[in-house]
């Protein structure tokens, strides 16, 4: 039985109670039950429950609401009365939590790309390498897995040899020493090595021949040294195309011995012992540069391993190409700071049918330089023009480095190449110019043996000065500059006078046919400041005469702070941007060519 009244509140209460009582599972409430009209003060459902007055139900609901409000007020009062320290601690925790979360979310957003076309030294972050013992020892196991234990060296003799040399102008610091030396044999092995170094943030110093002079392979950041000596193979010879593919540890002398069997010739000829990888790294030239050009003219293509282990090939084998950026020439002269050369395709030429050498002596170094200028102005296609001053010739005699005794006066060595008739004509023309330039003597070779004998003095220049060392404390400083040909006599005469006044044993030699000459200075620790000052003035003089700080030795560590005076600060900043584009972690031959962090006080000479 259901009894109710016509009030809507009563009817709603009845339906709600009925649903609860019967456990109704309808998705929608059932239609309202028709109720009889009339006044009713209560509702009674099935069962024995007593009817509750509506007024009583309303009062009970109000009482429950008041109890809830009082409980909320009590909790709020308790919060207000808790200690100040607790609230502060809770606030700090919340602040730290949300700050940490905001920082994490911020790191997920990539950094803004640079908008400038260059990178100044002030905008460069200090390289963050990991050369901890634990990291390097773990890397040792990785390297052994790639190369085998026999080709991963931690021998003290190996580490010392790969830290510097007696003929380098740079005096290494005590901590500049690699942790180990690696000897890969393939491009793939070099790539795998670089992937490990990139992942572990280990700096890398490349080594190929070790004949460089300006501190190119000094391991300024420690790390590992990659020696390419096992990569010395000739991979392909294309006789009809006049090109050859070689690995970086191929020596230029051994290469020409092999090519001579086929009547071919690779012209660049720097110092004895130089290898193709280092020659590419420094953009070298040599005694044949006047006739044949520098290394940049004889490299067609390169295979390069980048800092993260990526392998690229700069172009194909055609003699000419206008396909995209010239990455080949970008890597030539980069001194291993942009990538590691593992293969090179070189241009070749036909070996000259006839060659000869002539030697002329002069009363002064300036008259000898003026003779060279006249030979160049006449357009005589001599293969090479080399100069040695009187000090240099005396050192050659005293060291007994050659089989004959030389006049101890400024001397020019001429190299001729071409057809027999052409060579004879060149000799005759040059002899007349020497006579008109106050030359004291002129002698030319009449056979292969005599030619080798006459030319031997030029190749012994550096070693003859080194043999004059007074003791183990003596060092040799070999450096070079180049100027326009018309400025050559002026700078050679001024440099010669400066050397004489310094009181040091110092000689001049060089490839003067293209305005490039060298200074070789002997000094000890007490004389180091004097030697540095002579070199500084020599470089400054060259720049002021519109020349360059280095004609072929490269920049390395010695010449890097002079680049801004030769090229301008913005140009050096553009070079730095290139460095960071190819090697953003600064792993490859760090500190060479351009600085990646500011110099310390007193490190850079005042201009």
pLDDT tens-digit map of 88-104: 676 777 777 777 776 66
Q: Residue 308's domain is classified under what CATH number?
A: 3.30.465.10
Residues 361 and 269 reside in one and the same domain = no
240 and 196, same structural domain? no
Tell me what pLDDT residue 89 has: 72
* Mean pLDDT of the 293-304 span: 97
pLDDT digits (tens, 9 = 90+) for 530-544: 999 999 999 999 999
**Whether residue 362 sits in one domain with residue 346:** no
Q: Which residue has the higher pLDDT, 152 or 45?
A: 152
When pLDDT is cut at 50, 70 and 90, the band that residue 1 belongs to is very low
> Count of residues for the chain?
607
Q: What are phi and psi of 478, to 5 degrees?
A: -115, 125
Higher pLDDT, 44 or 92: 92
- Residue 337 within any structural domain of the chain: yes
Predicted confidence at residue 32, as pLDDT, reads 52
The winner for highest mean pLDDT among 74-78, 381-385, 485-489, 567-571 is: 567-571
Band of the pLDDT at 41, cuts 50, 70, 90?
very low
Query: pLDDT-based confidence at 52, cuts 50/70/90?
Result: low
Q: Are 290 and 377 members of one domain?
A: no
Q: How many CA atoms lie within 13 A of 390 on its CB side?
A: 13
Q: 535, 558, 581 — which closes off a domain? A: 558
Range of lowest pLDDT (13-27, 284-298, 465-479): 13-27
**Across residues 541-566, what is the average pLDDT?**
97
Domain identity same for 442 and 507: yes
Please list the alpha-helical segments (H only) found in 437-487.
448-459, 461-466
Angle (nearest 5°) at CA 274 between 335 and 372: 95
Is residue 240 included in any domain, yes or no? Answer: yes
- pLDDT value of position 269: 92
Determine, yes or no, domain membership for 583: no
Pair (243, 333) in one structural domain: yes
pLDDT in tens, 399-451: 998 888 999 999 999 999 999 999 999 999 999 999 999 899 999 988 888 88
Output the pLDDT for position 563.
97
- Quick one: 401 and 516 in the same domain? yes
* 294 and 403, same domain (yes or no): no
User: Per-residue pLDDT for 322 more than 80?
Assistant: yes
150-172 pLDDT, tens digit per residue, is 999 999 999 999 999 988 999 88
Answer yes or no: is 35 within a domain: no
Does 16 reside within a domain? Answer: no
Task: Please tell me the predicted confidence (pLDDT) of residue 453.
Answer: 85
185, 210, 227 — which closes off a domain? 227
More confident site: 513 or 108: 513
- Is residue 11 over pLDDT 60? no
For residue 515, give the DSSP letter: T
The pTM of the full predicted model, rounded to 2 decimals, is 0.81
Q: What are phi and psi of 6, to 5 degrees?
A: -90, 0
Higher-confidence residue of 155 and 19: namely 155
Two tokens, residue 43: 């509702």
Closest CA to 533 of 504, 566, 569: 504
* pLDDT score for 182: 98
The pLDDT assigned to 193 comes to 98
Q: What's 396's domain CATH number?
A: 3.40.462.10
Q: How confident is the model at residue 481 (pLDDT cuts 50, 70, 90)?
A: very high
pLDDT surpasses 80 at 591: yes
User: Contact at 8 Å (CB) between 562 and 548?
Assistant: no
Whether residue 405 is found in the same domain as residue 442 = yes
Name the pLDDT band for 187 (thresholds 50, 70, 90).
very high
Encoding tokens for residue 220?
Answer: 């300024």
Q: What is the pLDDT of residue 76?
A: 59
CB contact set of 483 (below 8 Å; sequence gap of 6+) = 491, 515, 542, 545, 546, 547, 548
Question: How far is 604 from 447, CA to CA, in rounded Å?
Answer: 51
Q: CATH number, domain at 138?
A: 3.30.43.10
Is there a single domain that holds both residue 260 and residue 369?
no
Is position 86 within any domain? no
Closest CA to 582 of 121, 84, 11, 119: 119
Asked if pLDDT for residue 313 goes beyond 80, the answer is: yes
- Scan for tokens 């005590």, then name that residue: 174
pLDDT at position 552 over 80: yes
- Report how far residue 183's alpha carbon sits from residue 181's, in angstroms, rounded to the nearest whole number: 7
**pLDDT at position 167:** 87
Question: pLDDT-derived band of residue 146, with 50, 70 and 90 as boundaries?
Answer: very high
- Domain encompassing residue 197: 133-227
Question: How large is the average pLDDT for residues 139-150?
Answer: 98
- Number of domains into which the chain is organized: 3
Is the model more confident about 12 or about 602?
A: 602
Q: Is 250's pLDDT higher than 60?
A: yes
In this structure, what are the phi and psi dihedrals at residue 61, rounded to the nearest 5 degrees?
-65, -40
Mean pLDDT of 360-368: 93
523 in any annotated domain: yes
Residue 216 lies in a domain: yes
CB distance 461 to 511 below 8 Å = no
Average pLDDT, the chain: 88
Residues 265 and 209 in one domain: no
Chosen domain end from 192, 227, 262: 227
Percent with pLDDT over 70 in the chain: 85
Q: Are residues 514 and 386 in the same domain?
A: yes
Residue 284 φ/ψ, nearest 5 degrees:
-70, 180
> Regarding beta strands 516-523 and 475-482, do their DSSP bridges make them parallel or antiparallel, or are they unpaired?
antiparallel
Q: What does the pLDDT read at residue 101? A: 73
């Amino acid at each position: 039985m259901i009894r109710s009244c016509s009030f809507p509140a009563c009817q709603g209460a009845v339906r709600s109670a009925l649903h609860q009582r019967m456990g109704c599972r309808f998705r929608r409430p059932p239609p309202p039950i028709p109720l009889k009209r009339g006044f009713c003060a209560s509702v009674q459902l099935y069962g024995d429950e007593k009817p509750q007055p509506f007024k009583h139900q309303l009062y009970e609901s109000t009482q429950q609401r008041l109890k809830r409000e009082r409980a909320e007020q009590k909790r709020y009062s308790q919060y207000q009365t808790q200690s100040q320290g607790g609230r502060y601690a809770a606030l700090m925790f919340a602040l730290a939590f949300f700050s940490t979360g905001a920082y994490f979310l911020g790191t997920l957003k990539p950094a803004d790309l640079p908008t400038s076309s260059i990178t100044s030294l002030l905008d460069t972050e200090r390289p963050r390498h990991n050369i901890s013992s634990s990291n390097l020892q773990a890397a040792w196991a990785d390297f052994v897995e790639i190369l085998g234990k026999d080709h991963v060296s931690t021998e003290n003799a190996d580490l010392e040899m790969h830290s510097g040399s007696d003929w380098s102008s740079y005096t290494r610091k005590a901590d500049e020493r690699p942790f180990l030396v690696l000897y890969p044999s393939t491009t793939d092995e070099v790539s795998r090595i670089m992937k490990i170094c990139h992942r572990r943030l280990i700096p890398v110093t490349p080594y190929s021949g070790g004949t460089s002079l300006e501190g190119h392979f000094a391991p300024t950041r420690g790390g590992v040294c990659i020696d390419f000596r096992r990569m010395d193979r000739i991979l392909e010879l294309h006789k009809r195309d006049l090109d050859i593919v070689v690995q970086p540890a191929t020596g230029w002398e051994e290469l020409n011995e092999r090519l001579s069997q086929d009547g071919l010739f690779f012209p660049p000829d720097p110092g004895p012992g130089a290898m193709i990888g280092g020659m590419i790294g420094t953009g070298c030239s040599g005694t044949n540069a006047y006739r044949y050009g520098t290394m940049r003219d004889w490299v067609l293509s390169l295979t390069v391993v980048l800092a993260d282990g990526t392998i690229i090939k700069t172009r194909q084998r055609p003699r000419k190409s206008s396909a995209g950026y010239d990455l080949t020439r970008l890597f030539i002269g980069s001194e291993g700071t942009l990538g590691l050369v593992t293969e090179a395709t070189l241009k070749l030429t036909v070996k000259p049918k006839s060659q000869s050498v002539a030697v002329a002596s002069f009363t002064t170094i300036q008259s000898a330089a003026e003779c060279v200028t006249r030979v160049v102005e006449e357009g005589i296609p001599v293969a090479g023009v080399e100069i040695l001053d009187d000090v240099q010739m005396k050192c050659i005699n005293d060291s007994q480095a050659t089989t004959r005794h030389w006049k101890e006066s400024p001397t020019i060595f001429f190299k001729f190449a071409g057809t027999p008739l052409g060579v004879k004509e060149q000799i005759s023309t040059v002899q007349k110019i020497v006579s008109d330039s106050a030359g004291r003597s002129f002698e030319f070779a009449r056979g292969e043996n005599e030619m080798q004998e006459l030319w031997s003095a030029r190749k012994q220049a550096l070693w003859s000065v080194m043999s004059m060392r007074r003791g183990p404390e003596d060092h040799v400083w070999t450096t070079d500059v180049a100027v326009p040909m018309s400025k050559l006599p002026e700078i050679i005469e001024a440099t010669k006078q400066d050397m004489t006044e310094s009181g040091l044993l110092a000689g001049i030699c060089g490839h003067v046919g293209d305005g490039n000459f060298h200074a070789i200075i002997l000094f000890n620790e007490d004389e180091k400041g004097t030697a540095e000052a002579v070199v500084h003035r020599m470089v400054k003089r060259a720049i002021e005469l519109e020349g360059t700080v280095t004609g072929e030795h490269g920049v390395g560590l010695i010449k890097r702070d002079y680049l801004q005076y030769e090229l301008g600060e913005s140009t050096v900043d553009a070079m730095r941007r290139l460095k960071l584009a190819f090697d953003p972690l600064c792993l490859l031959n760090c500190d060479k060519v351009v600085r990646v962090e500011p110099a310390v006080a007193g490190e850079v000479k005042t201009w």
